[in-house]
Structure 1
Amino acid sequence: MATSPDNPGTGCLIVQGAITTGDQAAPVRDDLNARRRAGGIALRERFERTRADGGLPPDADPADLARSVTSISIQAANGSTRAELHRTVDQALTTWPTSP
């Protein structure tokens, strides 16, 4: 986990690796970007199913919800503490759509 004191790394390879590569590593960057996009699509599709099943209100935007979840990994990679990430999640949940 990016916020673990036992983890000296700087975050998720899929997030950070795609940002920091040069032209020679374009195939790697492209692969990491595709994997990151696929994760976002999978989240969006899951939120779409949840909305269709009545777990989210009809006006909930699955794409926006997926983006809000994935942005937390970037915050973690940028050095946010576990406490800061928990506060971010707590704040996000205050605006999270509720089922009808």
Structure 2
Amino acid sequence: MSEPTLSKVVRALFDNTVAFLAGSDHPPTCMTLAGAMGCSPDAAPAKEIMTDMRRQNDQAMKERFLLARKAGESPKDLNVDDFTRFVSATLAGLSIPAANGATKAELKRTSQMALGFLGY
């Protein structure tokens, strides 16, 4: 979030997500996503913690996207809530091919395609 421009922030979000998902020191997926989706009713407290973590991440992105809009880096009519949800969902979606065995190079190409759709 500390990158100086919106373009660099969005690229860093994708690059860091790919690096995390392709890392060999943990399972190839996102715990806050995969762990929360498979929780039983007895694990509701864990699900709530993971949901809160995702909401905090989304809030941090939203705040940074708002700063970028105020700086004139994005259209004034950009719905920041929708943009945040879109970026968040796309980043989370990268965990699916990662869990299915996609390589770092494959994840990188997928993220580059998403960045292209976003105009970055």
TM-score range, shorter chain: 0.7 to 0.9
Query: Is 2:76 the partner of 1:58?
Result: yes
Gaps of 5+ in 2: 1-19
What is the CA distance between 1:41 and its match in structure 2? 1.8
SS in 1 for 2:22: coil
Amino acid at match of 2:21: A
Gaps of 5+ in 1: none
* Equivalenced residues, count: 97
CA RMSD in angstroms comes to 2.3
Match of 1:36 among 37, 54, 59: 54
Please give the alpha-carbon distance, in whole angstroms, between the structure 2 residues aligned to 1:64 and 1:87: 24
Change (3 A) 1:83 1:59: farther
TM-score in terms of structure 2 length: 0.65
Please give the alpha-carbon distance, in whole angstroms, between the structure 2 residues aligned to 1:81 and 1:61: 33
SS in 2 for 1:43: helix
What is the CA distance between 1:2 and its match in structure 2? 1.7
SS in 1 for 2:27: coil
Query: Is 2:109 the partner of 1:87?
Result: yes
TM-score in terms of structure 1 length: 0.75
Amino acid at match of 2:114: A
Match of 1:76 among 85, 95, 118: 95
What is the CA distance between 1:63 and its match in structure 2? 2.4
Please give the alpha-carbon distance, in whole angstroms, between the structure 1 residues aligned to 2:110 and 2:78: 20
Amino acid at match of 2:115: L
What is the CA distance between 1:29 and its match in structure 2? 0.4
What is the CA distance between 1:52 and its match in structure 2? 1.1
What is the CA distance between 1:84 and its match in structure 2? 3.1
**Runs of 4+ displaced beyond 3 Å:** none
Which structure has more relative contact order (CA 8 Å, sep 6+)? It is 2
Match of 1:22 among 32, 40, 61: 40
2:22–2:28 contact (8 Å) kept in structure 1: no
Compare the two structures and name the one with the higher helix fraction: 2
